[in-house]
Amino acid sequence: MHAAVFQTPFMPPTRSAREVFKWAVDRATVADQVGCTEYWVGEHATQSWECIPNPEMVLSACALNTEKIILAPGAHLLPYHNPASLAIQIAWLTQVLEGRYILGVGAGAYPADGTLRGFTDLSKNHKMLSEAIELMERIWKGEPFHQEGEFFKAGFPEEDPSHPFRKMLPYGGKVRMGVTGLSANSPSIRFAGAHGYLPLSVYSGTAFVKNHWKVYSDAAAEAGRPAEREDHHVVRDVFVADTDAEAKRLAKEGGMGKAWAEYLLPVYKQFGIIDGLAEGTGVDSADIDLDFLAEHVWICGSPDTVVAKFEEFQETVGGFGTNMIYDYDYLDDPAPWNESLRLLAQEVAPRVKLPSAAQG
């Protein structure tokens, strides 16, 4: 299993933009140094806790401070961008990173982000996402065209011998993409399967993760594409420490616990996915608290305990290749959080294998 970081970021509104920016850049450096494979940065314009409006600003700052880790926006909300401008921006960054890049794309889950851009109806966002990707992929070919679609129009200019221009094409000729899904029967996950993009499942209970793989693999089969368990990314919180008790304490009393208590539990209720966290535990979702989360939702413990929990989780859902942890505000005392990430990347992830059935 690979270990990755998803910097949404979950930082409280009391943190300044400068504090959030520096934390996000520093965490990429730590993730790279300890051996994480990917570092994803969110895009949110209106959320109080998820407060990076343009992930490329952070990723560009990370480019020269990292060496091996893949950097990725998670995700660009394509309905709210000019696809031609974004395509050139992305191609340039893939060149800067010499291929250490994955493009995360999304339709936009938060209505307020749409309202900011003048959208009062988000029902067409998935169609806009599809059209934007089509345009971007045409631009990345570097061949002249002009296209006027239902939502966007763009093109690629003809060569002018009197005024040569640089074709800003992706490093290696193509851009790898990933799509995040949250709900059951996620249309975003289905879209990923149909187009051969990486599926990123936000953890809302094991049933949701299993459902996402079925949706993804069915869509891939219908499109005549392979579906590899190794490509499946799951976003699930982890805290690793010397002992189980210490890991749970640091999670509950630190930035992870604060974010869940003040922000994430209300969001899960808002999106109607809170019940998935309690499924099979005998606990009513209304009674979910930090103790419950530390025992049933987060994976907390010593390296041996966390390995055992991941092996059980892998068997239950059928296997996946990368676990992405959310990043939280441990700015005042980052040492335990950094050590948790090191233990995850170096002592846990290498020991967790795909179930034998998934290895085919």
Tokens 């520093």 locate to 26
Query: Quick one: pLDDT at residue 349?
Result: 99
pLDDT over threshold 80, residue 358: no
Query: What's the rounded Cα separation, in Å, for the pair 360 and 352?
Result: 16
Rama region for 52: left / alpha / beta (φ>0; ψ in -120 to 50; rest): beta
Per-residue pLDDT reduced to its tens digit, 58-113? 999 999 999 999 999 999 999 999 999 999 999 999 999 999 999 999 999 889 99
List of E strands, the chain? 2-10, 38-41, 70-73, 76-77, 103-106, 145-148, 153-156, 177-181, 198-202, 233-235, 238-240, 299-301, 322-328
Looking at the domain assignment, is residue 286 inside a domain?
A: no
CB 6 within 8 A of CB 341: no
Q: What is the domain-level CATH number for residue 208?
A: 3.20.20.30
Per-residue pLDDT reduced to its tens digit, 156-215? 999 888 988 887 899 999 999 999 998 899 999 999 999 999 999 999 999 999 999 999
Looking at the domain assignment, is residue 211 inside a domain?
A: yes
CB 335 within 8 A of CB 254: no
CB 251 within 8 A of CB 294: yes
pLDDT over threshold 60, residue 10: yes
CB 30 within 8 A of CB 69: no
Instruction: Give residues with Cβ within 8 angstroms of 54, minimum separation 6.
Output: 43
Looking at the domain assignment, is residue 22 inside a domain?
A: yes
Whether pTM exceeds 0.85: yes
Looking at the domain assignment, is residue 85 inside a domain?
A: yes
Looking at the domain assignment, is residue 283 inside a domain?
A: no
Strands 145-148 and 153-156: antiparallel
Domain count, the chain: 1
Looking at the domain assignment, is residue 289 inside a domain?
A: no
Query: What's the rounded Cα separation, in Å, for the pair 128 and 131?
Result: 5
Per-residue pLDDT reduced to its tens digit, 106-132? 999 889 999 999 998 999 999 999 999
Looking at residue 229, what DSSP letter applies?
Answer: G
Report which secondary-structure segment, H or E, holds 25. Answer: helix 17-34
The two structure tokens encoding residue 225: 């594409």
Query: Quick one: pLDDT at residue 41?
Result: 99
Looking at the domain assignment, is residue 214 inside a domain?
A: yes
pLDDT band at 360; cut points 50, 70, 90: low
Parent domain of 122: 2-257+301-359
- How many C-beta atoms lie closer than 10 Å to residue 62's C-beta? 24
Instruction: Give residues with Cβ within 8 angstroms of 237, minimum separation 6.
Output: 203, 251, 256, 297, 298, 299, 325, 326
Query: Quick one: pLDDT at residue 274?
Result: 95
